Structure 1
């Protein structure tokens, strides 16, 4: 539930983190767009999906940002600056769930595409993981908007089932695929499993705050900051790692491509143009 009031510091904290997410997603998308030509065509689908993910996230954070600014009005009580909940306005948490409903399946597709697995294996993974991702988001939303901790706990538990299934499949599939990946990216892909676990793990922690009797404006601010940081890690940073893997795999697949790319990187700026 949205708090009745925020201090100046709390308002500024949420404001700045929402702004940070917009910048991170938007400029990551731009960087990846300009970098598409620096990888082989077979890996461009993964990076194109990453661009779409960051673009969707940037759009929704613009909407979240506007919703946040409209939900609170500046107020000064006893000479202390702060903000109170605006009459007739509310903070729309639903924007996050619409964003996740679109981006979480795409994040999974991004990873599957960069692994370049056999077509039959890819198809099976995509179907299973897309369904699980949709169920995870859909089941979590009723609990998020409910003020009843019992309802929140029930739907939180239900959404945890597909969440755990996704992590299990990804860990197992990533582990199985490591032996077939180039040596240059095995360590990165192995660590990517833990990045997924750590970044995705922030969401249920933030979701559970009300169930832990952590309420009030501090808890609400902590939830917004937690979601924001998790979205930067799970989308922007994750996308940059996928781009690095695509570059290394491109080098491994085509030595001539690697020679041209590396010679361009090493050349003085005037010659690299």
Structure 2
């Protein structure tokens, strides 16, 4: 979707401030997760390590998105007019191409699967997510009311639905294997997954209905909200799952030592 549209002062500021907020959020997530990573036993750090890497990649790309957006506009007569420098939507898709597979692997890490099962599942999800993103990009840069945008969106949605279905099933299956106290957190992870991933198609589709400057704002803000929920917030709950699992294991080991000593 082209940003060659005049924006009002408020419309420009909404996108500007939201992008700025996401940059700060991703940076805070990166530093925070890096600092608390050592609080987990080594065997439970993998998921948080992946999440920390996601924060770093996302923060870099949001910085590039922010710079590209500000370069695409300048203020003239109280409105923001395109400068002629194109807004580079590819930064967002490159970010997703790198971070979505990492987020999926992050989730699989806490599903209580065998190493073989984890490897097979991650391989499937990485391929599906790569195809989903690669097929979505041509539609993103197509005119909002074009047939091409609809066709690319439909092709991308096939893999989108497949990923959600697989993860929903795998999370449900893993609940019986999880310690009792961890199960509510797994339900929360599943809810966050559905919530955040549900934002992406809305942000993709809505510009076709509202169009113009409003469509630009809806798209950029929608994607940004989805990324905050899907990355730092999701990773925080993955950390909570890992932390609780470590505490349960520590208690079980302590109980076992006590029983043997008795």
With the shorter chain as reference, the TM-score category is: over 0.9
Alignment partners' CA distance in 2, 1:238 and 1:82: 37
Alignment partners' CA distance in 1, 2:179 and 2:32: 25
1:238 Cα deviation from its structure 2 partner: 0.4
Alignment partners' CA distance in 2, 1:194 and 1:149: 33
Alignment partners' CA distance in 2, 1:171 and 1:231: 19
Alignment partners' CA distance in 1, 2:224 and 2:4: 18
RMSD: 1.4
CA contact (8 A) 1:73 1:86 kept: yes
SS in 2 for 1:254: helix
Match of 2:3 in 1: 2
CA contact (8 A) 2:16 2:66 kept: yes
Residues 194 and 256 from structure 1, CA distance in 2 versus in 1: closer, same or farther, beyond 3 angstroms? closer
Q: How does 1:197-216 map to 2 (within 5 A)?
A: 197-212=194-209, 214-216=210-212
Match of 1:61 in 2: 62
Alignment partners' CA distance in 2, 1:241 and 1:191: 8
Alignment partners' CA distance in 2, 1:211 and 1:69: 24
Alignment partners' CA distance in 1, 2:115 and 2:83: 53
Matched, 1:219 2:215: yes
SS in 2 for 1:74: strand
Alignment partners' CA distance in 1, 2:96 and 2:189: 20
Match of 1:107 in 2: 103
Q: How does 1:77-156 map to 2 (within 5 A)?
A: 81-87=78-84, 89-147=85-143, 149-156=146-153
- Alignment equivalent of 1:173, drawn from 155, 170, 175: 170
Alignment partners' CA distance in 2, 1:193 and 1:240: 13
Match of 2:193 in 1: 196
CA deviation map 1:60-107 (0-9, x unaligned): 00000100110000111xxxx2210003x0111110000000000000
Alignment partners' CA distance in 2, 1:101 and 1:138: 8
Alignment partners' CA distance in 2, 1:219 and 1:188: 35
CA contact (8 A) 2:179 2:248 kept: yes
Number of equivalenced pairs: 252
* Runs of 4+ more than 4 Å apart: none
1:201 Cα deviation from its structure 2 partner: 1.1
CA contact (8 A) 1:149 1:210 kept: no
CA deviation map 1:153-181 (0-9, x unaligned): 00100000011010111010000000111
Normalising by the residue count of structure 1, what TM-score does the alignment of the two structures yield? 0.89
CA contact (8 A) 1:3 1:216 kept: no
Alignment partners' CA distance in 1, 2:207 and 2:20: 25
CA contact (8 A) 1:17 1:225 kept: yes
CA contact (8 A) 1:6 1:217 kept: yes
CA contact (8 A) 1:132 1:166 kept: yes
Alignment partners' CA distance in 2, 1:193 and 1:255: 26
Match of 2:158 in 1: 161
Residues 257 and 50 from structure 1, CA distance in 2 versus in 1: closer, same or farther, beyond 3 angstroms? farther
Unaligned runs of 5+ in 1: 259-273
Match of 1:266 in 2: none
Match of 2:259 in 1: none
Match of 1:33 in 2: 34
Match of 2:73 in 1: 72
Alignment partners' CA distance in 1, 2:132 and 2:33: 28
